[in-house]
Each structure stands twice: as C-alpha cells, then as structure tokens.
Amino acid sequence: MVRSMCWYSVAAEDGTVYVLVQCRRCRRWYGLCAGTVSLQKMLFARLEARRCLKDIEPRLFPEDGGPDHGEVVELYGTEGTGKTELLYHLLCRCVLPKAAGGLEVDVGFVDTDYSLDMLRLVSILDNRLNAARSTSSPLAGSDEAVLRSCLSRLLVVHCSSSSQLLLTLHFLENSLSSRPALALLLIDSISAFYWVDRSEGGASVTKQEERLSKCAGLLHRLLRDYKITVFATCHAIRRSNSGPSSSSSSSSDSDRFYLCRPWQQLVTHRLLCCRQEASNNMAAAAGGSKEQRRRQVFTVHCTSSSSSSRTKTYRSSSFYVTDGGVDFI
C-alpha cells in the first residue's frame, strides 16, 4: 500500500498538522490528522539556542572544525569499518552527565537497518560511568539511576522504508518542538533503502531519488529552523579495484558519493572509515601494549567544509574498539 502512495504534510494556523496521502492508482486524496503542535512551543523551540556540538569529539575533526549548528556529518565506509561503533561513541558522549565527561544533551536515533544494539549501548554507558566513578568524579544518585537518566535522553525510532523515513522526519518536528535539549540526530543508515528505491523507481533517475530527495529537503528545513546537528552513516555500494595494498581513501569520488544531489549538498563533514591492513595495524599500535597491538585498528579520514569557511580542512585519526567503546590511539 505504501508503495502506491505519496505523502505531504500541511500545518494549519491552529497548529494542527495534517498528512495528505494520495493514492497513485485511484488518484484520491486522504487527510490524516497527525496531531496538534503548539505554535508558541514551536516558536520557542526555534528561538531557544541549542547546544553547539563542535566539541563532540575533537579527535575526529580538524582543530576548531567540528560540526556547528545546522550541519551534517556523513560517515562513509564498507561493512565492518566501525561506523556504528562511532555513532555509539558519539551518542554516549552526548547523553552522559557532565560529571562523567558528557555533554548532557538529548539525542534522536533513527534506526533504518534495525541494527541498534541496546545491550551494547548500555554496556558502553556502564563502562564510562564506572570509569568516571573510579576517578572520583561526583555522580549524583545510584548507578542504576544515573544510567536511567542517560537513557531518558535518548529517542529511538525504527524505519523499514524510505516512506517511513520521510514520515518520521515529519513527526520529528514534534519532538524538536517539545524537547529543546534535543541537539543531535543520528541516522543509521541514510543509504539503507537505496537499492529498494532504485528498483521501484524504474528507469527514471528522478523517480529513484524522489523519496530521499524529499527527506533531504525536509532535513534541510529542520536544520535551518531548529539548529540541530546530524550524523548519518552511508554504506559503500562497491569496493575499490585498486588492490589490497591501496588505502580506501584513494577510491574515486564515484565510489563514494552516489546518493542524490540534495543529500550531498547538505553534507559539510565527511568521515571516510576503513580498516587498516595487518602490517599498518601493528605499526599504528606499536607504542601500546600487546593487547592493543592484537586489536583491529580502524582509521577515519575527515574532510570538513564548514559553512563558515570555504576552505576544506583535513584530519586522520585511528581507533580500536573495546568493551568500553571506542578508544583513540
């Protein structure tokens, strides 16, 4: 049924949000009331300054080059290159209390791959809280109470199609209006429905990219009006043919930037994630312990082109994954 429908939203003067649905077979329109949003609350949420996340992870971005209000970060890489672990790392950094080294802001997580591992997330949070207590950081409340407080700052939404993703972004405005502390939106992943949309779009590239283009347009408005920051993973659709000895960063732009142009225009920071080869892995962790040298090392190449500066800046960093989350080398 969803495949044969197109969706639009309209906001009335009284704040009531309606979703208009058109059946492409019979061409009839159907109106659905999506709820009432207080216009005063929406205006207040737009005017109130949200937490800037330029310092969300200084080791990933160039100096003073982290994402500002209304900017988008794309994490690109093949499967198993640490993209989701990086999202968990950033999520925990945001929801943890300031006493534990966190930013204490709300986070929205849009899970399009149904790969969100809550047990893994809770394990990372628990490890970070225990590490903070071991350094004598004052944390108010019991372990369970602090953990519950962290999880209360997290909003999780699951999507199984690009149409659901579009509707989710529409309804997300309600959450942004009612939760001024919601400063970060994570999407894992933005490319999940690429092949499905391409198949359903037929021979027309416009039809293939129609839904993602609408999602990008709606995201652009949310970024402009609510000044949130967005991190989104993007799966590589093919590997470089340069050979095993070449770095993933040497792959051509056509291998990387295959999503629609409206999405590409939103992205201000790109993190190219890859796994190091065995020899480079040992060299990168040569100064660490034997346990560190045995772990798989991941590399992130960051390219930033912030809206405040026309020049591009670059940075590379390495990390490995532990029970307590991401550890940078």
pLDDT digits (tens, 9 = 90+) for 104-128: 999 999 999 898 999 999 999 999 9
**The pLDDT of residue 88 is above 70:** yes
> Cα separation of 53 and 60, whole Å?
13
**The pLDDT of residue 192 is above 70:** yes
Identify the pLDDT of residue 37: 47
- Give the model's confidence band at 250: pLDDT under 50 very low, under 70 low, under 90 confident, else very high: very low
Neighbours of 289 (CB within 10 A): 9
**The pLDDT of residue 327 is above 70:** yes
* Ranges of H-type helices in the chain: 39-47, 83-95, 118-134, 143-151, 162-178, 194-200, 205-226, 253-256, 261-266, 278-284, 290-294
pLDDT digits (tens, 9 = 90+) for 136-152: 666 766 778 899 999 99
**The pLDDT of residue 101 is above 50:** yes
Share of the chain above pLDDT 70, in %: 71
pLDDT digits (tens, 9 = 90+) for 292-310: 545 899 999 999 886 666 6
- Give the model's confidence band at 244: pLDDT under 50 very low, under 70 low, under 90 confident, else very high: very low
Identify the pLDDT of residue 311: 81
Share of the chain above pLDDT 90, in %: 53
Q: Closest Cα to residue 309, out of 141, 108, 130, 66?
A: 66
> Cα separation of 131 and 324, whole Å?
9
Residue with tokens 């700052």: 153
Identify the pLDDT of residue 4: 45
DSSP assigned state of 311: S
Question: What average pLDDT does this structure show over 314-321?
Answer: 94
Tokens of 253: 């732009």
- Give the model's confidence band at 288: pLDDT under 50 very low, under 70 low, under 90 confident, else very high: low
Q: Closest Cα to residue 45, out of 228, 230, 187, 229?
A: 228
pLDDT digits (tens, 9 = 90+) for 253-267: 434 678 999 999 999
Identify the pLDDT of residue 2: 42
DSSP string, 221-234: HHHHHH--EEEEEE
**The pLDDT of residue 283 is above 60:** no
Tokens of 33: 């009331």
Contact 316, 300 (CB under 8 A): yes
Tokens of 151: 């999880």
Question: What average pLDDT does this structure show over 5-27?
Answer: 54
pLDDT digits (tens, 9 = 90+) for 212-230: 999 999 999 999 999 999 9
Least confident of 195-204, 235-244, 258-267: 235-244
> Cα separation of 238 and 76, whole Å?
12
**The pLDDT of residue 8 is above 60:** no
Q: Closest Cα to residue 95, out of 179, 162, 199, 1?
A: 179
- pTM exceeds 0.75, yes or no: yes
Helix, strand, or coil (residue 282): helix
Identify the pLDDT of residue 66: 86
Identify the pLDDT of residue 239: 47
